[in-house]
């Protein structure tokens, strides 16, 4: 089996063609407890990270926005009222269970007028070139099999002047955080997953997938390689999370 045919699923090396299915199994398993586990795992701080990401988008009335790997729809719920009835936000996810849950939660909140739903693979996005003003992907990129291909696909469907915002776990930049973060990730997270969602394995994968994701500078290089004209990033919570912004001129 050649390297070109392999990728990582957490710390495991698997056939690239198997990853989409295995990631889908993880998210189908945790879908019902997804938001609750996010609150518990981050002690609610994920809400601040996501709010900061939305604020960084510079959203305006009438814009078209893609909430990619949008899962439970919490970002879409924030975006929808900002862009108004003349705007459009598309909640896209590769996982049907997550997309179904997100749609139901948004409908329960009375949000529907400017929202559409698309099941889509980030590596081959089914939208016209130069279509979106903004693309935001929150804690989803690390689960994509071919990240470089996905970044290029995002570039193509952004309008000139458009922005890509990536919120993702990254590498702590404060030395004393690393051992604490490792202990939390590999001991507490799987325990929480077992106790709350009856699924320790999915949260073990979560911890491993974070470690295998490109660090801040590596992801910046990948974004620029995908033809974005400019990319900057900001560390949040000591680098546990990073917010990257790519701009297409």
185 assigned to some structural domain: no
Rounded Cα gap, residues 125 and 197, in angstroms:
31
65 assigned to some structural domain: yes
**In which band, very low, low, confident or very high, does the pLDDT at 4 lie, cut at 50, 70 and 90?**
low
pLDDT tens string 43-97: 889 999 999 999 999 999 999 999 999 988 999 999 999 999 999 999 999 999 8
Q: Which residue has the tokens 């710390």?
A: 11
pLDDT of residue 48: 96
Q: Is 70 exceeded by the pLDDT of residue 3?
A: no
- CATH number of the structural domain spanning residue 209: 3.40.50.150
Among the ranges given (12-26, 99-113, 171-185), the one the predictor scored with the smallest mean pLDDT:
12-26
**Geometric angle at alpha carbon 139, from 230 and 88, rounded to 5°:** 70
**In which band, very low, low, confident or very high, does the pLDDT at 28 lie, cut at 50, 70 and 90?**
confident
The number of folded domains in the chain is 1
**What tokens were used for 27?**
């998210």
pLDDT tens string 150-182: 999 999 999 999 999 999 999 999 988 889 989
pLDDT of residue 195: 82
214 assigned to some structural domain: yes
159 assigned to some structural domain: yes
pLDDT tens string 200-223: 888 899 889 999 999 999 999 999
Parallel/antiparallel/unpaired status of strands 241-247 and 158-169: antiparallel
1 assigned to some structural domain: no
Bridge partners of 234, per DSSP, are 243
Domain extent for 48: 19-174+202-247
Q: Is 90 exceeded by the pLDDT of residue 239?
A: yes
Rounded Cα gap, residues 141 and 135, in angstroms:
12
87 assigned to some structural domain: yes
pLDDT of residue 22: 84
Q: Is 60 exceeded by the pLDDT of residue 227?
A: yes
pLDDT tens string 107-124: 999 999 999 999 999 999
pLDDT tens string 122-141: 999 999 999 999 999 999 99
CB atoms within 10 A of CB 232: 11
Q: In what order do the strands lie in the sheet with 241-247?
A: 115-119, 88-93, 64-68, 132-138, 158-169, 241-247, 230-236
3 assigned to some structural domain: no
Distance of CA 191 to the CA centre of its chain: 23
138 assigned to some structural domain: yes
**In which band, very low, low, confident or very high, does the pLDDT at 1 lie, cut at 50, 70 and 90?**
very low
Rounded Cα gap, residues 116 and 37, in angstroms:
26
The overall pTM is greater than 0.85: yes
| Cα distances (angstroms) measured from residue 60 to each of 63, 179, 187 | 6, 41, 42
pLDDT of residue 225: 98
Rounded Cα gap, residues 113 and 185, in angstroms:
39
């Amino acid at each position: 089996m050649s390297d070109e045919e392999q990728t990582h699923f957490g710390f495991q090396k698997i056939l690239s063609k198997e990853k989409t299915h295995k990631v889908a199994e993880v998210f189908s398993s945790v879908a019902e407890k997804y938001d609750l586990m996010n609150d518990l795992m981050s002690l609610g701080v994920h809400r601040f990270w996501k709010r900061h990401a939305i604020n960084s988008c510079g959203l305006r009335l009438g814009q078209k926005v893609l909430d990619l790997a949008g899962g439970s729809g919490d970002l879409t719920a924030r975006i929808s009222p900002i862009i108004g009835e003349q705007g459009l936000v598309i909640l896209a996810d590769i996982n049907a269970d997550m997309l179904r849950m997100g749609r139901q939660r948004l409908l329960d909140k009375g949000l529907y007028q400017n929202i559409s739903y698309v099941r889509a693979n980030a590596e081959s996005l089914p939208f016209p070139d130069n279509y979106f003003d903004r693309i935001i992907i929150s804690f989803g990129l690390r689960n994509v099999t071919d990240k470089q291909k996905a970044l290029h696909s995002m570039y193509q469907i952004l309008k000139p002047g458009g922005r890509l915002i990536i919120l993702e776990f990254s590498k702590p930049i404060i030395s004393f955080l690393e051992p604490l973060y490792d202990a939390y990730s590999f001991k507490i997270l799987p325990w929480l997953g077992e106790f709350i969602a009856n699924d320790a394995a999915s949260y073990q994968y979560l911890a491993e997938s974070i470690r295998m994701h490109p660090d801040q500078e590596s992801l910046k290089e990948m974004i620029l390689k995908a033809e974005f004209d400019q990319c900057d990033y900001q560390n949040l919570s000591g680098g546990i999370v990073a917010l990257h912004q790519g701009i297409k001129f």
